[in-house]
Structure 1
């Protein structure tokens, strides 16, 4: 946990998260495992209840809400994104949006076929892991498996 926190500080993504928190009026609170929580995020984008930038997890609610026992899976999901930021640094953003585009093209959902969301745990992040493929993608996949 300490290594990923140090890496997100070194690669600048945690600084970006703190800058976003300051610019949006979110309050920074300590979380656990080296994570900071920006509570009270009020912007409309993204629509998610939580999202992560570097070692900063943003929530529309309070830090206590996010750290409650019944949200251990959600905190774990966002915490795995911290690890992804540690590994990818600023490349996280283009990779994430590329995967979002692929997922949306295939299913109409930004998350269910997104490799970074899959790694973080789709269900824990509030994504439907069984979201069906669009009809054209299902036909293409069937054709490919028949020929392959």
Structure 2
């Protein structure tokens, strides 16, 4: 998705505004990133526990913007940018869809990411997730029937 289009769509659908509000409430400092992405560094709330996550075109991180923009984290930045693309398409519907996908993944594997459509589409490896986990034993037994 073109970066400018993504930025406009996430601004119109309100998700970037929600990300900026969350940054403000958490005491994070917002800086410009690459390709229309904003980085809110110094996120201080306990939830979620991840080192970074995305809301609209805003990537919120407990670390610094420099940490996220470092070459060795290019894959992580790309992963979070793909989530911004998802927000551009779904807008606020991303939240319930994402949480349903988390529930599905947890029910199958005990991991909210491995079988989550949105995390898979954003790139599991790029986001630091394992590529696959075994299914819970009761699910595996059902598959064998």
- Normalised to the residue count of structure 1, the TM-score between the two structures is 0.95
2:128 matched residue in structure 1: 126
Gaps of 5+ in 1: 144-148
Tell me whether 133-142 or 94-103 shows the greater mean CA deviation. Answer: 133-142
Distance in 1 (CA, whole Å) between partners of 2:144 and 2:93 is: 33
Structure 1 runs of 4+ aligned residues shifted over 2 Å read none
Equivalent residue for 1:84, pick from 83, 86, 96:
86
Gaps of 5+ in 2: none
- Residues 31-55 of structure 1: per-residue CA shift (max 9 Å, x gap): 0000000000121110111100000
Q: Does 1:34 align with 2:36?
A: yes
> How far 1:142 sits from its partner (Å)?
2.4
SS in 2 for 1:48: coil
Distance in 2 (CA, whole Å) between partners of 1:142 and 1:76 is: 37
> How far 1:6 sits from its partner (Å)?
0.3
Distance in 2 (CA, whole Å) between partners of 1:96 and 1:141 is: 25
1:46 matched residue in structure 2: 48
SS in 1 for 2:124: coil
In our comparison, the structure showing a higher alpha carbon Rg is 1
SS in 2 for 1:34: coil
